[in-house]
Structure 1
Amino acid sequence: MPVYQVEKLYDDDVLSSQVVEGENATKSAELVAGRPVLPRALQPYWYRVVDEREATKHEFSVSGSDEVRDFAK
């Protein structure tokens, strides 16, 4: 099974990083996030999944993220 480096980020700051063995990049991000992920949207919290063997990088966001939205602007 492939091994991925999964990083949780806030904007461009890495909050955590771990190595995950998973079926694919999406499944690896879901293991770390603890819920389904979607291709990255413009959300401050997101996940970067790197497959060094294939030299690929994937970006995901969590659907229905916990971010607080300010609609007062």
Structure 2
Amino acid sequence: MARYRVDELFGEDVVSTNEADADNALQAVEDVTGKVISPRALQEHWFRVTDESGTIHEFSVDAAPAKVFSK
């Protein structure tokens, strides 16, 4: 496991920072958020994950389409 810094951003403003021990960057951000994460930062609310070597990964919450329940 490696240590990751997970920054939560809204636009370019950092709103929170956490650290997580995980096998990879995606797992680190999912562990911190408790949400399903998309491997692309396409939203204004996104996450920057930095590993111990300084490599930066960008993610956003997975915007799955809403389920439609009809009778």
Superposition TM-score tier, normalisation by shorter sequence? 0.7 to 0.9
CA–CA distance in structure 2, aligned partners of residues 5 and 56 of structure 1: 11
Q: Which runs of 4+ in 1 moved over 3 A?
A: none
* Structure 1 letter corresponding to 2:58: E
Partner of 2:19, secondary structure, is strand
Partner of 1:29, secondary structure, is helix
The sequence identity of aligned pairs, in percent, is 42
Deviates further, 34-43 or 24-33: 34-43
* Structure 2 letter corresponding to 1:45: H
Hey, what does 1:23 align to over in structure 2? 23
Hey, what does 1:58 align to over in structure 2? 57
- Alpha-carbon RMSD: 1.4
What aligned pairs does 1:1-73 form with structure 2 within 5 A after superposition?
A: 1-51=1-51, 53-64=52-63
Q: TM-score under structure 1 normalisation? A: 0.79
CA–CA distance in structure 2, aligned partners of residues 55 and 5 of structure 1: 10
Partner of 1:26, secondary structure, is helix
Partner of 2:42, secondary structure, is coil
Greater Cα radius of gyration, structure 1 or 2: 2
- Structure 1: tracts of 5 or more residues without a match: 66-73
- Structure 2: tracts of 5 or more residues without a match: 65-71
Q: TM-score under structure 2 normalisation? A: 0.81
